Structure 1
Amino acid sequence: MTVTADEVTDTGAGQAEWLHIAREVADDLAADAVEREQGGKAPLDEVAQLRESGLLTLLAPAVHGGGGAGWRTGFAVTRTVAAADGAIGHLLGNHYLLSFSPRFFADPDRAAGIERDSAAGQWCWGGGIGSQEPPLILTPTSDGGWLLNGYQRCATGVGVADRLVVRAARYGTGEPLAVLVDPARQGVETGSGGDTFGQRLAAGGGVEFDSVPVGADDVLGSLSPDEGVLSPFASLAAPTARLVSVQFCLGVAEGLLAEVRDYARILRAPWQPLSPQPWPDSPPQDPYALTTYGELAVVARAASALADQAVDALVHGLAQGEGVGDEECAEITVLAGAAEATASRAVQEITTRVLDVIGTDAASARHGFDRFWRNARTHTLREPVAHRLREAGDYFLNGAHPPFTLPA
């Protein structure tokens, strides 16, 4: 699949306009984020807002009716929205990845057709193609089509998606395939993800497939990690997915820091003694509070800097299309994995320690500070950093290329 430089190196006025739109959407989401998160309703209104803003078609080429932006803008938009509402940011980031998956795995003509249909219908994409799920089974039929069976227990956006992309194993061979499914088809039954303590608005949950008919054109391509099956360009789907995770984590961390900053300026730190006063009454002068916020700001900036390096490397790789090589793909994958591990640790530290500065008032439901920790922890539980660090170490010491694995 050839991707033009204009699609992946979007900067300047175009990116500024999209970020302006994203900030407007984020401001609207932030206004009632606590109430909506505590209500836990399906995010139909939120998806409608994303659709109306044009953000759902952001990555589709302009010639296909989309926004014509590239991944640099897509990542920045995801991070902006996640700072205001982590679950909606997570839903949007995964939508970008899944809606881009035909470019990674399908042939160019089929990918272009899907993108035209998606842009025209302003589809919201959901599902998941991570390798952690037990595979669905795809069985060939006599007419050249397929039947899809099985249960996927964890999929993002299934409650609001217009299309699902799922991972299925070809019957008889076990080869993993990316499959596009219309959830309105008979035999598709989506469940609720309401039993999780976080990501309540990501419309996640289980989805069951009971002899769902799948057309030959809806089997996008292989997801096999076996050497030589995927082109280096298709393998860039893995670091792209990891950088979506990174932007979610950084958005949540930065969103909480921004939200508590003004609150902390008028709040006495819980460890600050009432009397005597060894420092001025103003909470921002409390040396322990200042040190904690300083440490957390450094953690966030360090994780952001590494993420920027990884995004630059990915954008450069995508710009080469099918010309990208195996070695560069490996370097991009390792860097994206390192960024994910760093962002995961950063968001866990920030969403835990910042509450210590606020003290017992942080437990008040009216503030909703806990939603940042719950959204982050629900996400990071699915992707332990140990795997990314092992891959980085193996590449550093032995030059071993990371295996092709997509995150949950």
Structure 2
Amino acid sequence: MVLFQPMKVQIARDLHPITTIADDVEAAGPRGGLSAADTKAIWAALKSLYRSGAYPGIAFCLRRHGELVFNRSIGHAEGNGPADGADVPKRLLTPETPICLFSASKAVTAVLLHKLAEEGGIRLEERVSHYLPAFAQAGKRDTTISDVLAHRGGFPTMKIAKIERKVELMEDWDRIIRLICAAPPTSGKQMSYHAITGGFILAEVLQQVTGKSLSSYLDQHIRKPLKMKHFTYGIGKRYWPEVAINYEAGALVRFPISTVAERALFVPFPEVVRASNTDSFKQAVIPAGNIFATADETSRFFQMLLDGGVANGQQLLKAETVARIARPLGRMNFDRTLMIPMRYSEGMMLGAKPAGMYGPDTAEAFGHLGFMNILGWADPRRHISAGLLTTGKAILGTHLLTLSRLLATISSRCA
């Protein structure tokens, strides 16, 4: 007996009409030292991921040795969601379509804090309360910025009234800062993913120290030097019609996974998906979760880190700063929020050996996961930087197998 039917998109037999290759950058043939067989295998694995039915749209960008190998998209930015009928209008997803990075935004916020430390504005070993005195409340006085970056800050969640537990709270900056500062620690120094809370506190420290907004600091040090069109917290109103819509997909999320997901996401899983498509979410600044970017911009950001902080002839970060960003802070350990083994640096989710989130034998890789199967990462051993952006929000389903095969293919073909 079938207990539930996984939510899947309609998959066309011929993917050519819904595939877009950016400009003609791949017309010259294989690049980055990869053979035609290598690129063919990676592309076949990406198409298999789309055919899993979990994603209305996928955008993928891969650089190797700094050369653009892939910048492609499959599917739709709007329409063809799992619950959409045949009469719902469809809008093609292209490599230029902005997509919300969700938690992959944490990697960007972390880099900004490292940049501020490089400039002498903060010390990562210093207590958060040194820069933000209100944070010392309820036993959090000795928590350092480094602790927060590495998800050891002790405040992965907030114990607040259920009526307050709604996505719209993320759009009220002053209130959420007050709530986080007043909240007691819940996990000590144990590793526990700070899905929302850590980003706000890190950003508030940056704003208090610099007197600048988080967005302007991003513009100055990353976005403008990398010549990015998007890559912003929230997105300008003129671009709203271009933004990709997010869809709930995959197998129905039930207990106990639904409880784990709600603990990490602050609100029930379907509510996050719904809220992410609202105008208020698009105009908010959520440091841990709402940078809008393309796959190319995501890859470009990680390529800058892969190149030791250099981009377009400018030294955006010192090489030693980048080395610290990628350096493990502790060993593989059990994450008390995600309920899985994880390995973090001060701001990045790290790969692992024999296998990790970026594929097999990726101990040197660093990057970040975004809700649900969004990935931005760099792998120094393979000389690659990549952005994999998806619009289907699925926790369970066969897509996890095809995603694993895609990452394994990239890892083996770029070895």
With normalisation by structure 2, the TM-score equals 0.27
- The higher-RCO structure (CA 8 Å, 6+ apart) is 2
- Identify, as 1 or 2, the structure richer in helix: 1
With normalisation by structure 1, the TM-score equals 0.27
Q: Which has the larger radius of gyration?
A: 1
